[in-house]
Structure 1
Amino acid sequence: MPVPAHIRFIINPTSGTRSRVNVAERIEQLLDKDKYKHEIVFTEYAGHAPKLAKEAADAGYDVVVAVGGDGTVNEVARGLLHSETALGILPKGSGNGLARHLKIPMSLDAAIKTLNTGHVATIDTGSINNHAFFTAAGIGFDAYISSVFAGNKKRGLQTYVELVMKEVMSYKHMPVKATINKKTFETDCYVMAFANAAQYGNNAYIAPLADIEDGLLDVCLVRKLDLVKALNLSYCMLTKQLASPDSAEYFKTTHVKVSTQSPIMYHADGEFLGEESEFEVQMNPLSLKVVVPAGVN
């Protein structure tokens, strides 16, 4: 009989909307014990998950599973970068961007069963000012919304949409200097998104053509925004289409530099990181192993 693989579940007890489902209990009931020797640990503070993940990777665990939302997935994945330990995901947040891109089921039971039947693939990752991201990072409006959302007591998609609708027309673009594909240009910037995966989460596609295994970042630049452009961009994000050229511009690259005259907000995987006036964004090809459903490359 094959030796069971070692798997650690890292649960963020505060992640996502309130649920009566006992996640640890469902893991105990549904995980294939012939395939895995498992343990369950809980995060105790912000920034705990990367330590727990790296500890497991250093100890030779085969899989470490992030149980939570995009923030928890980002933290666990950061602890596994460039290791032989694969990331698993049990989605428990409001966006679940990486899980959706990888076609991991949103149902807890189905996601656990994916660990039993799935396989390991290797994906690209990105970094913005040396902070790793796995779906998308950005400067401008999306980072501003991340900062407001982080301070809001209410969570979930409805709260996020309400914040966007409230702030979208009042937020002002900013002049920036950008270097993409070795070409430097000055432009206005309402938002500049750096996408590794196709979507932010909740099936809102900021870069519909993004391929998480092609070694390239998909950059979406919105220079200025008026009502017509906002409606076009929103419709295209929800229907997985490229926005019209007068609404957004798209680039494929491995490296981006951006500078601003005054500090601008930025985020990674929806986590607000602060304000800077210099940014370096780069792709790290095939740097993270992940467990994906059978049939997904």
Structure 2
Amino acid sequence: MRALLVVNPAATTTSARTREVLAHALASDLKLEVAETKYRGHARDLARQATEGGETELVVALGGDGTVNEVVNGLLTSGPDPDSHPRLAVVPGGSTNVFARALGLPNDVVEATGALLDALRDRSERTVGLGLASGTPGSKDEGAPPRWFTFCAGFGFDAGVVGRVEQQRERGKRSTHALYVRQFVRQYLGEQNRRHGSVTLELPGGADGAPEVVEDLVMSIICNTAPWTYLGNRPIYPSPRASFDAGLDLFALGRLSASAVARYGTQLLTSTPHRGPRGKHVVSLHDLTEFTLHSQAPLPFQMDGDHLGLRTSVTFTGVRRALRVIV
């Protein structure tokens, strides 16, 4: 099998020696080409070139969730077509590795490599659904290019936290869970509308054709799988039923007062695969095919932990059976 290994040399939990050993192990079973990323978006470009070349059957992403996201967007440049695109394989090298862990892979480079080699020999794979975010027709963001995400997106508060973390990383800080907690606190203290948010959810019309609208949301998290993220080794489940085999799930809050943060924060930390946060300020929807989030003022937007700037409107689509993954 002809394969491309896309390596992020800045991956948080890998060293040059680890990457060399990994490449050697994969080369024993594959006709392997290795390419290191050199700039933001390079992994996407490498995966797109491999797809367009028509000879590569497998693209292996070594890095964190951001690297995986770029590779997926490169593989799906021309749209979802599992039968014609190269398969995807993931070796976790970031600080959290949500997508890899959601697939059931070990959160260790060596163990994950062993699991990948076993899966290749057994020809074990699955086809997963993905999320697609695009500009909403008629909005200021209508021309925003569509982009795929593998496990989550956020519009509003949580994306602001991600943006703060990226700023700290650009200043040389390591991406740790403690860093996320600190930036969460700072984002909360700087939040102007804790009781009445500016996000509006619009769902497609029902039998009467009128769209269903939910207003004044403070934060919104879109999940393509569960868990949403990890705090250390603790999985967090705002949408426990989210699945690669279904549409998208939405978890949103209508209030971020001190009491609401204490209540729903505790529920998130104690959430399980069978029970997520509940309450009168919670909006929890499962298996959505399409919906739109609007805001009068531009809000932070993130996908798979990658901050993408400010948006006023984003349309989300759940696409089933979009990509084949070795697992």
Same fold (TM over 0.5): yes
Aligned residues: 285
Q: Distance in 1 between matches of 2:265 and 2:324?
A: 32
Equivalent of 2:292 in 257, 278, 284: 257
Bigger strand fraction: 1
Secondary structure of 1:147's counterpart equals helix
| SS in structure 2 of the partner of residue 41 of structure 1 | strand
State the partner residue of 1:295: none
TM-score (ref. length: structure 2): 0.81
Check whether the contact 2:238–2:277 (CA below 8 A) recurs between aligned residues.
no
Q: Check conservation: 2:160, 2:187, Cα contact below 8 A.
A: no
Whole-Å Cα distance in 2 between the matches of residues 142 and 94 of structure 1? 18
1:64-75 map, 5 Å: 64-75=59-70
1:44 counterpart SS class: coil
Structure 1 position 259, deviation (Å): 1.9
1:1-297 aligned within 5 A = 5-17=1-13, 19-20=14-15, 22-31=17-26, 33=28, 35-58=29-52, 59-81=54-76, 82=80, 83-118=84-119, 119-129=124-134, 130-152=146-168, 153-154=172-173, 155-173=175-193, 174-182=197-205, 183-202=211-230, 203-214=235-246, 216-238=247-269, 239-240=271-272, 241-252=275-286, 253-292=288-327
Cα shift at 1:147:
1.0
- Name the SS for the 2:296 alignment partner: strand
Query: What's the offset of the Cα at 1:226?
Result: 2.3
Cα deviation code 1:151-210 (max 9, x no counterpart): 103122221122113333542442233212433324212111111111333222231110
Q: What is the CA–CA distance in structure 1 between the aligned matches of 2:68 and 2:238, rounded to whole Å?
A: 19
Query: Cα RMSD over matched residues?
Result: 1.9
Q: Does the C-alpha gap of structure 1 residues 68 and 95 become closer, same or farther in structure 2, counting only changes over 3 Å?
A: same
Tell me how far 1:243 sits from its aligned partner: 0.4
Q: Distance in 2 between matches of 1:159 and 1:61?
A: 38
1:194 partner SS: strand
One-letter amino acid matched to 1:224: R
Deviations 1:8-65 (A, max 9, x none): 1101111215x546233222443372x4221211011111111111222223322111
Structure 2: tracts of 5 or more residues without a match: 135-145, 206-210
Separation in structure 2 between the aligned mates of residue 70 and residue 189 of structure 1, nearest angstrom: 27
User: Equivalent pairs: percent with the same residue?
Assistant: 26
- The C-alpha deviation readout for 1:220-239, integer Å capped at 9, x for no partner, is 11111123332333333333
Q: Secondary structure at the match of 2:297?
A: strand
CA distance in 2 between counterparts of 1:172 and 1:123 reads 38
Q: 1:48 to 1:172 in 2, by over 3 A?
A: same
Rounded Cα–Cα distance in structure 2 between residues aligned with 1:95 and 1:230: 23
Look up the match of 2:137: none
Asked if structure 2 preserves the Cα contact closer than 8 Å seen for 1:65 and 1:87, the reply is yes
* TM, length-normalised to structure 1: 0.89
- Structure 1: runs of 5 or more not aligned: 293-297
Query: CA 1:282–1:146 in 2, change beyond 3 Å: closer, same or farther?
Result: same
With over 3 angstroms needed to count, the CA separation of the structure-2 counterparts of 1:32 and 1:134, relative to structure 1, is: same
1:98–1:201 contact (8 Å) kept in structure 2: no
Query: Residues of 2 paired with 1:115 and 1:269: CA distance?
Result: 22
Residue 125 of structure 1 aligns to which amino acid in structure 2?
L
